[in-house]
Every structure is written in C-alpha cells, then in structure tokens.
Amino acid sequence: MTFASHPYLLGFENLDRLVERTAKSGSDGYPPYNIEQRGDASYRITLALAGFCEEDLQITLENNQLVIRGRQRDDADGRTFLHRGIAARQFQRSFVLADGVEVGAARLENGLLHIDLARSAPETVVRTIAINGKNP
C-alpha cells in the first residue's frame, strides 16, 4: 500500500510515480551538489563539476524533471600519467521539480554549475459546485 492510495488523497497517483522515479535515480554521489533556498520562492542548485566545460554539459527539462548530463572528452592525447586521479567521467543527475517551479539561468563558473529556479505563486480559485444542475 502506498501513501497515494489513502482514501483522502484522490488523484495523487502521479506523486507516487514521482517518488518511485526519484528513489530509482542514481545515488552514486557524483557529482556532489548543493540545493540552496535564496528567497521565499527562489532556489539554486549548484553542482561541483571540476574539469567540465560548457560544451561537455547538457541541461534538459521534461515533465517536471530537470536532468543534467555531462561527458568529458578524454584529453590524454599522447600523455603518460603516473597517477590519474582526475578521470574523464560521464554523469547524469536528475531533480524532480514541483508544479510551478521554473528553471531560470544556468551558468558555469570556477568549476561550479549554478542553476537558478523560481516558484510562481499559485492562483487561489474558489468555485461553487451546482447540485443537480441548480445554481445556489
């Protein structure tokens, strides 16, 4: 039994799927990231991406899921490494966004990718429902 099957939570099946999808997303810890609240309705996601350049990164938004993908080019052309601790590595990091959260600017500076998010205030709607087609 899931929380969305509770009798008072009608129409929240989609939320159950979001929780399940989030639980299945990669949790290998790379790249490390911060989520910062910058105001009442604004947030910033910051990913530590040392060695990545803009051309190595792709940011997409589909069905309220923000996906950041990175793939570094192997720059070992003719070089011999005695120790290689900074590996060319690919990653995918996903974040599920609530309805009304918009993705703003993204910028890469000093090895940190900053993605700004803003939540728009929902409009309160009150409706009167007619009983048997009669308006009150």
Tokens for 33, please give them: 């990231």
130 Cβ partners below 8 Å, 6+ apart?
A: 136
Q: What is the DSSP code string of 21-60?
A: HHHHS--S--S-EEEEEEETTEEEEEEE-TT--GGGEEEE
Residue 48 CA from chain centroid, whole number: 15
Identify any residues that bridge with 102 across adjacent strands, giving them in sequence order: 118
Q: What is the pLDDT along the chain (136 residues), one digit of tens a residue?
A: 666 667 777 776 776 776 676 666 655 788 999 999 999 999 999 999 988 999 999 999 998 899 999 998 777 678 888 888 776 789 999 998 988 899 999 999 999 999 999 998 878 888 888 888 766 5
pLDDT at 99: 86
Indicate the pTM of the whole model.
0.72
pLDDT at 51: 86
29-75+84-119: what CATH class? mainly beta
The domain limits of the chain are: 29-75+84-119
